[in-house]
Structure 1
Amino acid sequence: MASNRKSKLSPSASSSSSTCPPCFSEQERQQKILQRQYTDGLSSQMAKNKFEYALKSNEAWAKYKGHQNPAFFQNLATKQTPSILWLGCSDSRVPETTLLGLQPGDVFVHRNIANIISPTDINSMAVIEYAVVHLNVQHIVLCGHTCCGGAAAALGDARVGGVIDAWITPMRLLRKTNEAQLEALEDDGKKAVRLAELNVRWGVGNLMSTWFIEKAIEERRLTVHGVMYDVACGKIRNLDIGTKG
């Protein structure tokens, strides 16, 4: 009986007239193996050295993506056609492509401390102009977030560091301008979140008054959005500011 049961379960015992496909094709099976290597990671390397782990993880990821789609990297090497310009914070907990569930090539990115968008900052303005004028992105997303160290620092006037103090000056000015509503909140955590949101609103206002953005909105319906990302739950909240498209 045992031998009969074994023969019935073996692939060679399947009826030649059966139309049922195998549970997994060989390609699917290989993809699952590669995915497991990528998602499980190389824990021993990670324990020893995070940089070495990152290199090994990249190798596994590149192999997995190439196996999924052999033309994936060749297509990326040809050109980039991102539809979104993401303006965000440098915070390591807010990785735009990951949290949006998108892929390399989908998002053009500029990040800085506290996602401050000032018309006098030629770094951010150069990125924005390139994305709008040359890449023709369809959406600009300015994203603030909870647990923002820059916003927390801007709640007071204590020195953080020479360059950093200069950088967060716009947020400190926002704090002073909106002091009444911030002081009405019960704790510093809520004040920092509110200040981060005010900073997004201020930044969106600066974007909307930039000439090449105004032109793109009028001529090709570029959209501008302000959002907040909640680090504690991983979700984005739309502030419904900017364009309405």
Structure 2
Amino acid sequence: PKDPATISEVDGVVKFGEIKRGKREIYVYQEPAEEGVEPQLYEVPAGKHLRVHEGDRVRAGDRLTEGPVNPHDILLIKGPRAVQEYLLNEVQEVYRLQGVRISDKHIGVIVRQMLQKVRVTEPGDTDFLEGETVDRLTFRDENDRIQKRKSKPAAAEPVLLGITKASLTTQSFISAASFQETTRVLTDAAIRGAKDDLLGLKENIIIGHLIPAGSGIYRYAEIDIQPPAGYEAPPPRVEEPVPVPLAAAVLVGEEE
């Protein structure tokens, strides 16, 4: 967002410092105070409206100045759950102002996709590279495989993507190509020799397959349903021919 609010990264007490070169110094002293720990310093424009006063207690993630909160700051300070709740509440607020009621689950699906990626900070004994952005589920599966071998797992931090970027970085190149930048997505997939496992709804609709949901879910495909003991199937129905009046048959013949 433009001109975002300054938020506190720690719990503590607010103390105001000097104004230097048009910037006001705001110190947040952690509580309980720890020996050798310096207070957190924030410099904000002197003319910007403050939300705190001298001696106020703040918690990590609280705004010190007016303005919209940057979701990336919330993710960094408070974690994925907090940024999910923030985005959900902000979107719902827009609908509430218009008198529209919408279930949280619809917005939650979008927010979940915005947090589908993680950035590798420590590759450990995996095949990942430091700084590589990978799918969250792929990262989890690879770590599970490494831990079964008693090796060192990788470490990663969550990444917040915009809805456009999230749609273009999905695992399915068919789904990504149907959204935007079709030429680039297909060229990149061809160079990498990518394979689409058709795990999502969108790519299956494009191909013309059953969507993997409800009765079309993959794990139900090989289930053989056996009737209960003693069950006798009803005899098949035989459709009897419907008699056609002679006059109607004659009229049809004349039309032909």
TM-score interval for Structure 1 and Structure 2 normalised by the shorter chain: under 0.3
Which one scores higher on RCO, CA 8 angstroms, separation ≥ 6?
Answer: 1
Structure having the larger proportion of residues in helix: 1
The normalised TM-score by structure 1 is 0.22
